[in-house]
Amino acid sequence: MAVIFDENAMRSEMAGFLELYERRPIQQNQGGMGPTHLFGLYTLLRKIKPKFVIESGVYKGAGTWLIRSALPEAEIFCLDPKPASISWKDPQSHYLERDFACVDWSRHIDDMSECLLFCDDHQNAIRRIQECLWFGVGYAVFEDNYPTGKGDCYTLKTASEGGSFPIPDSFNSYERSDYNWRCAKRFFEFYEEMPPICIPEQTRWGDIWTQDKFHTRAPLFADPRDPHVAAQFLKDAGAYTWLCIVKFRQQFQLHSSSAGGVI
């Protein structure tokens, strides 16, 4: 059963999102999120309403704009090693030039359990999960959640499929195994993938989109020709990469009120 991406709730958020999307400051975001994942992020943020959001991977700033639009009151931290690519900056957000793992979060956030980490940084998702546990983060979202054999980073979806992630000539390759997934799941209250809005015949890699190869939740609209599918979503349907959210179990989150509180 869906906890975050409830189909009916998503459908009811759609018109408001599309209205907002028309006012986006970055019109051309090739290499960043298109309307499908911006919509997924919008719906989950409006549902969870985290007090703090850490955005890892800013690029031009389309994600920052979306986070700020969905959460006018949140404190947002934006991390990217290439700040020169940022063209839209939020005056209320904090821009840090450090990897998520290298920041002293106790200087910025007084309750990590109220914090959501949004990763669109193409880093190893299992490592990010380990880092979240270290800091006691409440939620983590991964935009590039590629299935086995696709994409440029080791993902939770690949781990859950027991897939390998080979890196040529590298000591850091992952062998075919579901061991990481079994380890990771112990810390999760839930793991949930966003459903696609509609499913095109082919994936972004040109493969035929079959369930055995690309296990995917039922789309919000079964027929891509359904007149309710907005043109923006239809055009972007191939960009879907199984965006997912993890909630960490309460006992692994760092609460300001818990023994020790903010370290």
Least separation, in Å, of the C-beta of 159 and ligand SAM?
Answer: 19
The CA distance from 91 to 89, in Å, is 6
Tell me whether residue 119 or residue 221 sits nearer to ligand SAM (CB atom).
Answer: 119
- Cα–Cα distance list, 237 to 29, 57, 143, 149, 201 (Å): 15, 22, 14, 20, 10
- 19 touches 45 (CB < 8 A): no
Least separation, in Å, of the C-beta of 180 and ligand SAM?
Answer: 20
Q: Which of residues 6-65 bind ligand SAM (CB under 6 A)?
A: 29, 31-33, 56-60, 62-63
Tokens 């904090």, located at residue: 94
The yes or no reply on residue 79 touching ligand SAM (CB under 6 A) is yes
Residue ranges of alpha helices (H) inside 23-137 are: 35-48, 62-70, 125-135
Chain-centre distance for alpha carbon 34: 13
* Binding-site string for ligand SAM from residue 84 to residue 123, where x marks contact by CB under 6 A and - marks none: -x-------------x--------------------xxxx
Least separation, in Å, of the C-beta of 174 and ligand SAM?
Answer: 19
Can you point out the beta strands (E) in the chain?
Answer: 52-56, 75-79, 94-96, 115-119, 139-142, 188-193, 244-248
Tell me whether residue 2 or residue 101 sits nearer to ligand SAM (CB atom).
Answer: 101
The yes or no reply on residue 177 touching ligand SAM (CB under 6 A) is no
Query: Which residues of the shown chain bind ligand SAM in the complex (CB under 6 A)?
Result: 29, 31-33, 56-60, 62-63, 79-82, 85, 99, 120-123
